[in-house]
Amino acid sequence: MTLNYKSFTLGVEEEYMVLDPVTHELKSHEQKIVHEGQKVIKDKVKAEMHQAVVEVGTDICADVDEAYTDVSTLRKTISGIAQDLGFAMGAAGTHPFSHWESQLITDHVRYNEIVNELQEAARSNLIFGLHVHVGMESREMANHIANSTRYFLPHIYALSTNSPFWEGRMTGYKSFRTKVFDKFPRTGIPEAFESIEAYDNYVKLLIKTNCIDNAKKIWWDLRVHPFFNTVEFRICDVPMTVDETITIAALFQAICARIYNLRSKNLNFIQYSRALLNENKWRASRYGVDGHLIDFGKEQEVNTRALIYELLDFVDPVLDHLGSRHRLAHVHKILEGGTGADRQLAVFEQSKNLASVVEYIQSQFLAGV
């Protein structure tokens, strides 16, 4: 049986922070960056709930190289527009010292509804994430792959950790972003659904009972997308550099393809409960790649780096089909040089100054592009 790896297209969404180049504080750009951006890149740039956030999204990309080009172009375009308007851009899961209370909310029906319903949980949700969409041949396959990829979410999340500071404090976490987001309902790693119908029925029930008005208000760490044939991975902090973003996108794509490959041989990856997977998610947010995750098969703690190397071995058989081997080589660089969080902490250790950390984040926005 020849497997069709072409269906595993990629879409990447990143959320950026808008900065004052002098004070390094978050700064409301009153959607000027978005308005100017839309003249050039149309609907690939969007406003977010807070006015100090800009969201971008790529086209549907056939492979990781196309995604790399698209994300690089988006970062360069937004950075250039921001500079012309007197702003700077950065990518980290949280801003090291700005306070959410002083940040303005975008006036838009959807955001007003969310703030009205979720109150301070929404207003304080000043965080920056990475969402990776991996294309699927059918929604049935999307559900199967979403169920099986849940296990690997903490491993990849550990690699993306990039939010050690919150409101001027060192949090002790490598990723505090998810701690902020946990205040929202319908977050975290979901349970497995036995079929796509079961998932659709769950969504219908929530809509019918006025819990949500549409499936986009399900904010899990991964979900079968309500409108597209994709699995959307939402657990990661936005990475500091384009290379890191594309490495993480390539990993998500490779895991999906590998599980598809196993499925074609009538093999499946073991399913673990949400309660167990969340133990690993907590460890990843606290320690990043420097801690231990639990190997539930062996029922023991294993060094996170060792598990990430195991993950690279697991996806190896599909990398040449996807054309992504060269992108995953960057995982070794992250493990050697540290994640965004490790690098932020190193700058702070040296400078004892959070403004220097923001300067560093800003300097990395176009690094290597």
Strand partners, 143: none
Q: What is the pLDDT of residue 289?
A: 98
Query: Within its chain, how far is the Cα of 147 from the centroid?
Result: 18
Report the alpha-carbon distance of residue 128 to residue 95 in Å, rounded. 9
Q: What is the pLDDT of residue 1?
A: 55
Q: What is the pLDDT of residue 109?
A: 85
> Residue-wise pLDDT tens for the chain (369 aa)?
568 899 999 999 999 999 999 999 999 998 999 999 999 999 999 999 899 999 999 999 999 999 999 999 999 999 999 999 999 999 999 999 999 878 888 888 888 888 898 899 888 889 999 999 999 999 999 999 999 999 999 999 999 999 999 999 999 999 999 999 999 999 999 999 999 999 999 999 999 999 999 999 999 999 999 888 999 999 999 999 999 999 999 999 999 999 999 999 999 888 999 999 999 999 999 999 999 999 999 999 999 999 999 999 999 999 999 999 999 999 999 999 999 999 999 999 999 999 999 999 999 999 999
Report the alpha-carbon distance of residue 36 to residue 46 in Å, rounded. 11
What CATH number was assigned to the domain covering residues 5-364?
A: 3.30.590.20
- The angle subtended at Cα 22 by Cα 19 and Cα 23, nearest 5°, is 70
Report the alpha-carbon distance of residue 312 to residue 317 in Å, rounded. 10
Domain parsing of the chain, residue ranges: 5-364
Report the alpha-carbon distance of residue 106 to residue 202 in Å, rounded. 31
3-state secondary structure of 52: coil
The structure's pTM equals: 0.97
Q: Establish how many alpha carbons lie within 13 A of residue 216's alpha carbon, considering only the half-sphere containing its beta carbon.
A: 5
Q: Are 358 and 90 in contact (CB under 8 A)?
A: yes
Q: Are 232 and 131 in contact (CB under 8 A)?
A: yes
Report the alpha-carbon distance of residue 262 to residue 282 in Å, rounded. 28
